[in-house]
Amino acid sequence: MSFDDVVSQPHITTTLRNQISAGKTAHAYLFTGSRGTGKTTCARIFAKAVNCLSPKDGEPCLECEICKNADAGTLPDIIEIDAASNSRVDDIRELREGVSYTPELCKYKVYIIDEVHMLSPGAFNALLKTMEEPPPHVKFILATTEVHKVPSTIVSRCQHFDFHRIKTEDIVSRLSYIAGEENLSLDGEAAALIARLSDGGMRDALSLLDQCAAYSDKIDINTVSAAAGIAGRDHLFDILEAVLARDAAAAIRKIDELYEKSKDLAVLCSELITQMRNIMILMSGRDARDLIVCLPEELERLEKMAAGTDIDTVLGLISILQQCSERFPRSANKCIELEMCAVRMCSYSPAKGTVSASGVSDRAVSNLMDRLTRLEQAMASGVPVTEEKKPIAPPPPPKPLKKFDPNNYTPLEEWKELLGIINEKAPALGSFLTNSAACIEGDMFYLIVASDVALRKFKRSNDSAKLKEIVNGYYGKSFGFMLYSSHDVDMEDQDNPINEIIKRAKSNNVEVEIKNQN
Ligand SMILES: [Zn+2]
């Protein structure tokens, strides 16, 4: 009703009141700020106050004929235009004609143009012409959420006020006041949840209060969560707890369950991102709780998860979820996409960057995912699925062979760990790697085995392929492989095509290249 009722914008209401009481108002104003921050409300109060027959300190009296008519919306001199539905030149032309007539009842004709950024370029031009030569009896108030879409020629002719998001405590006290007026019981926790859910917008907060009142006139946190549709989100926390416990099976089971219940998996993914963000925020500081919109028992679970993990893991998991969400629109099977995402999260380890604890790299998973998607698309479009043939690549340019010295190299620190993985995944290979060592130089992986038997073993294409797969998977890249032994080796395996290379290699300190023959 009056400037005094406007919440959280004292920098604007004080200035406007001072201008009105001093009789020094501008002829055009631009009100900017996000939705529900009070732009249109302020515009209406201004229109009323500037015309009020007995204003007090710049406030409308609310009792004179003008104030009463303005509040009833029956004042012909206060004209509200929604630019979203009146964006054409013709609409503004009408406005220009109207501007030339003097007001009927008031001192000033006040034009309030809402969502002004929606005007067409032609309409902006027409408006600009009017604003360039404004009749003294006209005031303009332009309001917008997107000031960057308003031409600078317009902006420069207006006094510009930027409306801030309304503070949570201001919304809470306003809600409590209104609840009191309406004989609703609203507890503090519920009011705070409404305020946080409406993200600094008073209009959203009031309409949520309205929805709550439709449920019950005793509004507590359960009423709010039911009205706002945030009840029953346990599944989000179940999934994230499984992920942080590295229990991929449990996470996938939960995802499948939701999929069967027809839950929109893209929505699920973005909800998971929101909850991971909440965990991140909780880890960032003591006052962080205010920034999180959730129920008390949800907060408890989030805090437990935050306490049990570290920020690098959380950041990594958020980015894995975001990649999944970006892939969704192109994905033929969203359920598999999200399951892959869960597996990737469960095996994520920040210490090794993209490399996971289980030895499956992000890139390996992502390649697999891409192949799967292609297969699915092929199936969906009725193309018979055949083994994908690799295009015949032109032979690589001959690379000068860098000399590796098996007697002088920096041994690979993580070889022991890698050996553990090999032993686990391919025990038959592991036993041949006793007392072996390895070295990485650039894109080359050098394996130095202890015995001739081992050298022969890894010469076999199946065994070498398995080894390459594990090593490449561990690092998430594709290495060239070279095999060494310090022993003099006898290589007379007639049916192996590598023999030629070995023979050449033998004269060169026994370098054997393992070729993948698949
Ligand atoms: Zn009045």
Q: SS3 for 132-201, per residue?
A: HCCCCCEEEEEEECCHHHCCHHHHCCCEEEECCCCCHHHHHHHHHHHHHHCCCEECHHHHHHHHHHCCCC
Q: Give the CATH number of domain 234-380.
A: 1.20.272.10
Q: How far is the CA of 105 from the centre of ligand 1 (A)?
A: 13
Domain with CATH 3.40.50.300 in the chain: 3-162
For ligand 1, a single-atom ion, the residues with CB < 5 A are: 52, 60-61, 64, 67
Q: CA-to-CA distance for 169 and 90, rounded, in angstroms?
A: 44
For residue 216, how far is its CA from the centre of ligand 1 (angstroms)? 38
At 57 the pLDDT is 92
pLDDT digits 0-9 by tens, 69-79: 999 988 999 99
Q: How far is the CA of 202 from the centre of ligand 1 (A)?
A: 26
What type of residue is 323?
Q
* Calpha distance 60→52 (Å, rounded): 6
The alpha carbon of 107 and the centre of ligand 1 are apart by a number of angstroms equal to 12
- Residue 365's pLDDT is 62
Report how far ligand 1's centroid is from the alpha carbon of 373 (Å): 68
Q: What is the pLDDT of residues 385-421, one digit of tens each?
A: 444 445 555 555 554 455 777 777 888 888 888 888 8
Check residue 189 and give its pLDDT. Answer: 86
Cα separation, 80 vs 84, in Å, equals: 12
Instruction: Identify which of 202, 209, 203 has the alpha carbon closest to the alpha carbon of residue 170.
Output: 202
CA distance 425 to 13: 71
What is the Å distance from ligand 1's center to 20 Cα?
Answer: 13
pLDDT at 185: 93
Is there a contact between 161 and 126 (Cβ–Cβ < 8 Å)?
Answer: no
Q: What is the pLDDT of residue 381?
A: 64
Q: Which two tokens stand for residue 291?
A: 């920034």
Q: Which CATH fold would you assign to the domain 3-162?
A: Rossmann fold (3.40.50)
Ligand 1 center to residue 172 CA distance, Å? 30
Residue 54 CA to ligand 1 centre (angstroms)? 5
- Compute, in angstroms, the gap from residue 137 CA to the centroid of ligand 1: 18
Computed over its alpha carbons, how large is the radius of gyration of the chain?
35
Whole-model pTM: value is: 0.54
Contact 467, 474 (CB under 8 A): no
Q: Which amino acid is at 13?
A: T
CA of 19 to the centre of ligand 1 (A): 16
Coil, strand or helix at 105 = coil
Residues of the chain with CATH 1.10.8.60: 168-227
Reading the block at residue 150, the tokens are 């308003």
Compute the distance from residue 80 Cα to the ligand 1 centre, in Å: 19
User: Ligand 1 center to residue 56 CA distance, Å?
Assistant: 9
φ, ψ at 400 (rounded to 5°): -65, 125
> In this structure, which CATH number among 3.30.70.2750, 1.20.1560.10, 1.10.220.110, 1.10.8.60 belongs to the domain 168-227?
1.10.8.60
Distance 181 CA to ligand 1 centre (A): 24
CATH C-level class of 415-513: alpha beta
- 360 closest CA partner among 476, 480, 243: 476
Distance 61 CA to ligand 1 centre (A): 4
User: Whole-angstrom Cα distance, residue 71 to residue 421?
Assistant: 76
Q: What is the pLDDT of residues 203-234, one digit of tens each?
A: 889 999 999 998 888 999 889 988 887 777 88
pLDDT for position 356: 46
**C-alpha of residue 49 to centroid of ligand 1, in Å:** 7
- CATH 1.20.272.10 location in the chain: 234-380
Please tell me the distance from the alpha carbon of residue 197 to that of residue 230, in angstroms, as a whole number.
Answer: 10
Q: Give the pLDDT confidence score for residue 382 in this predicted structure.
A: 60
Ligand 1 midpoint to CA 174 (Å): 24
Residue 406 CA to ligand 1 center (angstroms) comes to 96
pLDDT confidence of residue 302: 93
State the distance from the centre of ligand 1 to the C-alpha of 57, rounded, in angstroms.
12
Task: Give the span between the Cα atoms of 98 and 193, in whole angstroms.
Answer: 46
| Residuewise pLDDT in 10s, the chain (518 residues) | 899 988 889 999 999 999 999 999 999 999 999 888 999 999 999 999 999 999 999 999 999 999 999 999 889 999 999 998 887 888 888 888 888 889 989 999 999 999 999 998 888 998 999 899 889 999 999 999 999 999 999 999 999 999 998 888 899 999 999 999 999 999 988 998 898 888 888 888 999 999 999 888 899 988 998 888 777 788 999 999 999 999 999 999 999 998 888 888 998 999 999 999 999 999 987 677 777 878 888 889 999 999 999 999 999 999 999 999 999 888 888 899 999 999 999 999 887 554 444 445 555 566 666 766 666 666 666 655 444 445 555 555 554 455 777 777 888 888 888 888 888 888 878 878 888 888 888 888 888 888 777 888 777 777 888 888 888 888 888 888 888 876 533 334 444 445 555 455 455 444 444 444 44
Domain with CATH 3.30.300.180 in the chain: 415-513
